[in-house]
């Protein structure tokens, strides 16, 4: 098995958006999702299956202050319908388990 990266993107936001997160797959039991809208605005979702909570990093909203997502709720954030759909699908994919009867709605 090769240790070569399979996905890599650059930060599209100005320096005023803060330092973007540097994420990799060395932390076990995490789900990672990436989104970029038609304007090049980027978002990254990280879900920790151990804690059952996630973090949403948004370049337009200060990379260095991710939004915590636990119990399927995001406090203090307005997302477009497309961003909501992406995040809902990430949440469902991250929480899916063949042993679970829950659909993990967000």
Structure tokens at 14: 């100005």
Q: What percent of the chain has pLDDT over 70?
A: 88
pTM score of the predicted model:
0.83
Report the pLDDT averaged over residues 88-92.
92
6-52 pLDDT, tens digit per residue, is 888 888 888 888 888 888 888 889 999 999 999 999 999 999 999 99
| pLDDT at residue 103 greater than cutoff 70 | no
- 104: exposed, middle or buried (C-beta count within 10 Å: 0-12, 13-18, 19+)? middle
Q: Residue 82: which residues within 8 A CB-CB, separation 6 or more?
A: 37
Q: Cβ of 35: how many Cβ atoms within 10 Å?
A: 18
- 100: exposed, middle or buried (C-beta count within 10 Å: 0-12, 13-18, 19+)? exposed
- Write down the pLDDT at residue 100: 53
């Amino acid at each position: 098995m090769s240790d070569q990266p399979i996905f890599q993107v650059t930060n599209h936001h100005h320096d005023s958006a803060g330092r973007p997160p540097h994420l990799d797959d060395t932390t076990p039991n995490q789900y990672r999702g990436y989104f970029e809208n038609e304007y090049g605005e980027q978002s990254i979702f990280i879900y920790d299956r151990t804690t059952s909570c996630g973090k949403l990093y948004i370049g337009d909203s200060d990379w260095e202050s991710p939004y915590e997502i636990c119990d399927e709720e995001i406090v203090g954030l307005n997302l477009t319908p497309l961003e909501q759909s992406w995040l809902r699908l990430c949440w469902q994919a991250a929480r899916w388990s063949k042993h679970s009867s829950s659909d993990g709605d967000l």
